[in-house]
Amino acid sequence: MSKLDLTKFEKKMIIRNTRESDIDKIIALQRVCFPGMVPWERDHLESHLEIFPEGQFVAEFDGEIIGSSSSLIINFDEYDDRHSWDDVTDNGYITNHNSEGYNLYGIEIMVHPEYRRMKIGHRLYEARKELVRHLNLKSIIIGGRIPNYHKYAGELSPREYVSEVSKHKIYDPVLSFQLLNEFSLMRINPNYLPDDVQSNKYATLMEWNNVDYRPMTKRFYQTSYPVRICVVQYMMRQISSFEDFAHQVEYFTDVASDAGADFAVFPEIFTTQLMSFLNERSPSMAVRKLTEYTEQYIELFTDLAVRYNVNIIGGSHFVKENEDEIYNIAYLFRRDGTIEKQYKLHITPNERKWWGISRGDEVKVFDTDCGKIAIQICYDIEFPELARIATDKGAKIIFTPFCTEDRQGYLRVRYCAQARAVENQIYTVISGTVGNLPQTENMDIQYAQSGIFAPSDFEFARDGIVGETNPNIEMVLIGDVDLEVLRRQRQDGTVRQLKDRRHDIYNIEYKK
């Protein structure tokens, strides 16, 4: 009897690291696994492979990709309890991956519906566990969907639903599977995946602990993460053209660059200096004429940021949008040439009366090459909810361009900026205008003393003041803030305002 050729019966199941050639197949697989949800883009998966190739796996069966998983490493303690998927993945690009972190965070796992019950998901989880053991990480953390919850949402709260699944009274294809794979429930996060309709946007935060983890004394935190800030206290003076304004701005940008600054910060609505040559007495009409310089303003600061290699908080400027609405907008001009903007959310009675300024409606946090930052324009820093929301979104520095006409107005901005630094364990920066524009209605006098503020604890500057300018003269302030000291103090400071918040009795709801 001749021997059978057994190789023709073989169908190989392989769990391996993802390759670039797998990307299109993974995107197609995701459309099949999660219909109705936004799939990966090629840029996302390319970023995963570039940043952390060891953490990306596929299941290959007989040459076909039938499952995949993605992950990154983080220090989970650095993320807020109510983080979303976008927060922990940097919107899917995992550029926040920290090779010195302690936790593997699983951000995606999927198996083709036709191949379920073949323990594909279990094999992918085992690959993750083996990676955690190999890298000596403390745990795996995942934000798991609860896709059957929509069937019970009318009768059970998310916690009640999870409890019933844990007792095996209800079957959930994701949560039941995770429990079988030795994951334990940490908490339930709302608004985790905005397009996850089946889970009503909820997710269960689960953890698997590596019992073989060995604390390693060779792991040290970096000793410092300095960020240099140049604050411009800007003199408002009569000028005769946009070129005069541009020369003044370029001078200060050059000063910031020569000092090796990472950020140059200009004051609120300092572009109203242009009104000094517009020959328009009516404040409301002068503002509308000012908006005609928006493109020149943006082109100027984009060029300066790239040419002088410094991120610029371009003060703020009145911009006409939505046909006839005028907004007070602060722009971030990154030194790589990209641009972001933050609308002023709270409009003062003076702005409404004289200029008819409209309100923005979103608290933004921006990624930079020096970490996450936020911009809160003048009056906005006086509302503590905004700073807390920005901090929860990951901001480490809040920049506040301001413009005040008297000492009382200035002190409101200053005291509130210092309070926000203490409350949220962040750095705050205020930059104001000084000088006079005698022929410009509603912008004739200015009062300012700019500064950089820190939380009040031993490792920070005395009195919580990194530096401050002299009042009412044109000058710059250059100071360093240390994001590593900030991180350590959030974990081990004398007081820990972020960790000690009583979520059981109060919370801030961001409705956007």
The residues that are catalytic are 268, 344, 378
Query: What is the C-alpha separation between 319 and 328, in angstroms, rounded?
Result: 6
By the 8 A CB rule, do 429 and 398 touch? Answer: yes
Strands 451-453 and 13-17, sheet pairing: unpaired
The conformation of residue 97, written as its DSSP 8-state character, comes to -
> 42-51 and 23-33 are packed helices; what angle lies between their axes, rounded to 10 degrees?
120
By the 8 A CB rule, do 26 and 68 touch? Answer: yes
Phi, psi of 126 (to 5 degrees): -65, -35
Nearest to 143 by CA among 40, 46, 72: 72
Phi, psi of 104 (to 5 degrees): -85, 125
DSSP 238-272: --SSHHHHHHHHHHHHHHHHHTT-SEEE--TTGGG
Residue 7, token pair as written in the block: 């190789």
**Neighbour-count burial of 174, counting CB atoms closer than 10 A to its CB (0-12 exposed, 13-18 middle, 19+ buried):** buried
Nearest to 487 by CA among 450, 463, 460: 460
Place of tokens 């009366």: 353
Query: What is the C-alpha separation between 73 and 110, in angstroms, rounded?
Result: 19
Residue 458 amino acid letter: F
Integer angstrom CA distances of residue 143 from 86, 90, 408, 428: 11, 15, 48, 32
By the 8 A CB rule, do 426 and 486 touch? Answer: yes
Cα within 13 Å of Cα(506), Cβ side: 6
Pick left, alpha or beta for residue 131 (phi over 0 → left; psi -120 to 50 → alpha; otherwise beta): alpha
Query: What is the C-alpha separation between 444 and 433, in angstroms, rounded?
Result: 11
Residue 215, SS3 per DSSP: coil
> 242-258 and 294-307 are packed helices; what angle lies between their axes, rounded to 10 degrees?
20
Residue 80, token pair as written in the block: 């807020």
The conformation of residue 469, written as its DSSP 8-state character, comes to P
Other CB atoms within 10 A of residue 426 CB: 26
By the 8 A CB rule, do 329 and 343 touch? Answer: yes
